[in-house]
Chains A and B, each alone.
Chain A
Amino acid sequence: MLEKITKILREYKSDDDLAVAENSTFEELELDSLDLVQLVMDVEEAFGVTIEMDTPVTTVADLIKIIESAESQ
Chain B
Amino acid sequence: MGFKIIGTGSKLPQKAVSNAQLATFLDTSDEWITSKTGIKSRTICTDETITDLATQAANIALANANLNIADIDLVVCATMTADYAMPSMACCVLEQLGGACPAFDVNAACSGFVYALDVADSFISSRKAQNVLVISAEMMSRMLDWNDRTSSILFGDGAAACVLTAGDSLKYINITATPQIAPLFTKASTGNNPFANHATDENIFLQMKGQHVYKFAVTTIQQEINLALTALNLQANDIAYFILHQANTRIIDGARTRLKLPPQKFPMNIEKYGNMSAASIPVLLDEMVRHNTIKSGDMLMLIGFGGGLTAGTAVLQW
Binds B, one of A1-9, A32-40, A62-70: A32-40
In the complex, chain B residues 170-215 whose Cβ is within 8 Å of any chain A Cβ: 209-212, 214-215
- Are B250 and A34 within 8 A (Cβ)? yes
- Which residue among B36, B215, B258 has the maximum number of chain A CB atoms within 10 Å of its CB? B215
Could you say which residues of chain A place their CB within 8 Å of the CB of B209? 53
Interface residues on A, range: under 10
Secondary structure of the B side of the interface? helix
- Are B215 and A41 within 8 A (Cβ)? yes
Could you say which residues of chain A place their CB within 8 Å of the CB of B99? none
Secondary structure of the A side of the interface? helix
Distance in angstroms between the alpha carbons of A55 and B74 in the assembled complex: 47
Could you say which residues of chain B place their CB within 8 Å of the CB of A40? 215
Chain B: which residue is nearest A51 at the CB level?
B215
Tell me, rounded to whole Å, the shortest Cβ–Cβ distance linking A67 to chain B: 16
Could you say which residues of chain B place their CB within 8 Å of the CB of A37? 211, 214-215, 218
Tell me, rounded to whole Å, the shortest Cβ–Cβ distance linking A70 to chain B: 14
Distance in angstroms between the alpha carbons of A73 and B36 in the assembled complex: 34
Tell me, rounded to whole Å, the shortest Cβ–Cβ distance linking B151 to chain A: 14
- Are A33 and B254 within 8 A (Cβ)? no
Question: With an 8 A cutoff between CB atoms, is B219 at the interface?
Answer: yes
Distance in angstroms between the alpha carbons of A36 and B258 in the assembled complex: 15
- Are B211 and A41 within 8 A (Cβ)? no
- Are B36 and A53 within 8 A (Cβ)? no
Could you say which residues of chain A place their CB within 8 Å of the CB of B211? 33-34, 36-37, 53
Tell me, rounded to whole Å, the shortest Cβ–Cβ distance linking A17 to chain B: 22
Chain B: which residue is nearest A35 at the CB level?
B250
- Are A41 and B210 within 8 A (Cβ)? no
Distance in angstroms between the alpha carbons of A33 and B150 in the assembled complex: 12
Distance in angstroms between the alpha carbons of A41 and B223 in the assembled complex: 14
- Known contacts A38-B254, A53-B209; A32/B36 CB under 8 A: yes
In the complex, chain A residues 36-60 whose Cβ is within 8 Å of any chain B Cβ: 36-38, 40-41, 53
In the complex, 10 of the A-B residue pairs with CB atoms within 8 angstroms, ordered by the A residue number, are A33-B210, A34-B210, A34-B211, A34-B214, A34-B248, A38-B218, A38-B254, A40-B215, A53-B209, A53-B211
Closest 5 CB pairs of A and B: A53-B211, A37-B214, A53-B212, A37-B215, A37-B211
Beyond contacts A34-B211, A34-B214, A41-B219: 17 other A-B pairs, Cβ-Cβ < 8 A, are A33-B210, A33-B211, A34-B36, A34-B248, A34-B250, A34-B254, A36-B211, A37-B211, A37-B214, A37-B215, A38-B218, A38-B254, A40-B215, A41-B218, A41-B258, A53-B212, A53-B215
